[in-house]
Structure 1
Amino acid sequence: MDLQAVVAGFKGAAPLPGLADAWHWSPVRGIEFAGALSADGQRLLQFGGRDSYDHELAVATLEFAREWEKGIFDRNPFLGALEGFRAPAGRRPFDVVVGVAPEVHRFYRVELPELTPFVRLTFPAYACEFSGGESLDEAETRYRMLHLNHLNHLGREPLPFLKMRFANTRTGGRSTNSGRGFTGPQRLVEEFGRLEGGPGSFAEFENRHGRVWRVEWHGAWYIAELDAQDGAPRETVLDELVEFAMERLRD
């Protein structure tokens, strides 16, 4: 496929200042894209922003992605992330560039499906958001979470990698999946609060490093790290528990 010719045909496409073999286009008001050919010219690396497009950040992201594309996907061929990125001054402290494979993003599947296999989406992100071990199904779930809530908003806060499992004897609420499933930090905090008054209730949470903690209610909140040498539960209070969990998620 002649990627240069395809991109040149996009509505409003023009060369991207500051980066060779790269373009900028905007299909509708408020949504803007930038794309660059990969180093070997075989793929389109694409960056996007919704009501928050940033030219300098786009150039920096695409430049990093082009130079380090192999490293981005070394650990995970579906949803890869590589540390070492530094966003331009005045931006959020993004510290990784992420690459999303066609099997996950399925971009252009309706209007130009023949282009989809040649496109890798790239965006700046935070290291705490990815484990590197996501399966294809997990990569799809994680991409949807970021895309729907954060991905195109370049002033966003981190959405840390978080898996949770819980059961509450007081409310009757419990996880519907057999293991820990992805969720957001706010949901975890809510479940911590709901444990109060429910003997035997628990909430487990896992961070991107695969470390898991279990919180139980036995007249007070108790927390222990699973599979740790010193995994004995210790009593805590809700504010300290929330602060501890948020720190572990940002590790």
Structure 2
Amino acid sequence: MDIEQAVTDIGNVEEVPGLPKAWRWSPMSRFVFSLAMDVDGCWAYQMNSIDAHDKGLARAVLTFARQHQLGRGSDARPLAVVPGFSYGTYQFDAVAAASPPVHGYHHGRNEDLNELVSAVFPAYQCEFRGDENLEVAVLRFKRMLRPTVITRPPVPYLRMRYENTKTGGGSVGPSRGFTTYDVLLRELSLLEDSPGSFVEFENLRGEVWNIEWNGSWLVNGTPQDCPPSESLAASALRCP
């Protein structure tokens, strides 16, 4: 497939200054799409942004993705991540790529192009375990990570289950499910004075913390004098 021709056919496309074989376009006022073709013309890397746009960041992400051939090929993982990225004052420390079945950027418009594009975005290492299957990758990419928002904070890899005897809140079943950092902090803050309550959470390395209140604090079975702090949670989740 001729990727360059397919991109040109989109319309209203301009070249990205300082980056060969790269183009950007805006399908509507809130969005800017940027795409760089691989050196052999057989694959491309696309970064989308909404509301806030930074041409320098987009160029840096596309350059990094192309250098590492991030997410290239049909055998690529649903979510791939390469650390070592930095740009300006942003706190991002990696670039991630979603595979064609995950992102669907050109689904319904140009299926052939869709199958030759990685959706790349600036990311944080704490957001990825590295073994995400297709179902998890779609959930994380489309509902949690907000990959098109360049001002976003980290969304750490976090699975949790909990029960609170005072509020009556709790998770369903014995398995830990994906949740967000703010939910973890909220449930930790509600534990005190709730005998029999607990919060159990897991980070990207599969490390598990179990925090209980039974008249005093227990963290992984060890008594603690103070309630778990936000810094403990951030450190456990390896947030930057």
CA distance in 2, matches of 1:207, 1:162: 5
Q: Offset at 1:77?
A: 0.6
Q: Alpha-carbon deviation of 1:173?
A: 1.9
CA contact (8 A) 1:76 1:134 kept: no
List per-residue Cα deviations over 1:145-184 (Å, max 9, x = no partner).
345xx32221222111111111222233221254111111
Asked if structure 2 preserves the Cα contact closer than 8 Å seen for 1:71 and 1:82, the reply is: no
* 2:183 aligned partner: 187
1:246 equivalent to 2:234? Answer yes
User: Sequence identity of aligned pairs in percent?
Assistant: 37
Cα offset, 1:72, TM superposition: 8.3
Instruction: Kindly report the root-mean-square deviation, in angstroms, between the aligned alpha carbons of the 2 structures.
Output: 2.1
CA distance in 2, matches of 1:30, 1:70: 26
- Rounded to whole Å, the distance in 2 between the matches of 1:221 and 1:243 is 16
Cα distance between partner residues in 2 of 1:72 and 1:199: 51
**How has the CA–CA distance of structure 1 residues 200 and 39 changed in structure 2, closer, same or farther, with 3 Å as cutoff?**
farther
Deviation at 1:27, TM superposition (A): 0.7
- Map 1:9-88; keep pairs closer than 5 Å: 9-69=9-69, 77-87=77-87
More helix by share: 1
Offset from partner CA, 1:111-142 (integer Å, 9 cap, x none)? 22332211110011111111112122111111
Aligned length: 238
Rounded to whole Å, the distance in 2 between the matches of 1:51 and 1:156 is: 12
Which amino acid letter does the alignment assign opposite residue 139 of structure 1? A
CA distance in 2, matches of 1:193, 1:94: 28
For 1:72 and 1:146, the matched residues in 2 are separated by 23
Contact 1:11-1:27 at 8 Å conserved across structures: no
Q: CA deviation at 1:234?
A: 2.5
Q: Tell me if the contact between 1:203 and 1:214 (Cα under 8 Å) persists in the aligned partners.
A: yes
For structure 1, which segment, 5-14 or 167-176, has the greater mean C-alpha deviation from structure 2 after superposition?
A: 167-176
Secondary structure (helix, strand or coil) at the match of 2:167 reads: coil
Aligned partner of residue 112 in structure 2, secondary structure? coil
Residue 131 of structure 1 is aligned with which of 118, 129, 132?
129
Structure 2 gaps of 5+ residues are none
Paired residue for 2:91? 93
